[in-house]
Amino acid sequence: MISAVVGEQRAWGWVAHLRGGGTTPWQAWEGLGESRGRYLPGAQQLELLRRLNQAGHPSAALADSVLAASAAGRGRPDLELAGAVPESAFGPAPVDPAALPAGELVRVAASLLADQVADAGLPEPEVRRRASWWRRGYRLVGDPELADPLRDQLVARGRPPGGREPRVLVVGSDLATMTAHAWTHRAFTEGVNAWREWLRQLQERREVPARADLLAVCRAWERRVGKARVHVVLDLGAVPRLAGDRRSLAAPEPLAGEAGELARRVGSVLGLLVLPDARETLLTTRLRPRVEQAARSLPRTSALVVPPEARDWVEGAADRMRVGIERAGYAVHGDLDALVPRWSAPAGTGVGPAPQATLDLAVRVLLDERADVGRTA
What whole-number distance in Å separates Cα of residue 112 and Cα of residue 110? 5
Q: Are 131 and 221 in contact (CB under 8 A)?
A: no
- Rg, Å, the chain Cα set: 24
What whole-number distance in Å separates Cα of residue 246 and Cα of residue 62? 47
Per residue of the chain (377 residues), what is the pLDDT tens digit?
446 678 889 999 999 999 999 999 999 999 998 888 778 899 999 999 999 999 999 999 999 999 998 776 555 557 889 988 777 666 678 899 999 999 999 999 999 999 999 999 988 877 666 656 556 799 999 999 999 999 999 999 989 998 888 999 999 999 999 999 999 999 999 999 999 999 999 999 999 999 899 999 999 999 999 999 999 999 999 999 999 988 999 999 989 999 999 999 999 999 999 999 999 999 999 999 999 999 988 887 767 889 998 999 999 999 999 999 999 999 999 999 999 999 876 655 557 899 999 999 999 999 987 554 444 33
Q: Are 44 and 104 in contact (CB under 8 A)?
A: yes
CA dihedral (322, 324, 330, 333) in degrees, to 10, reads: 0
Q: How buried is residue 216: exposed, middle or buried, by Cβ count under 10 Å (0-12/13-18/19+)?
A: middle
Residue environment code for 101-111, b if the CB has 16+ CB neighbours within 10 A, otherwise e: ebbbbbbbbbb
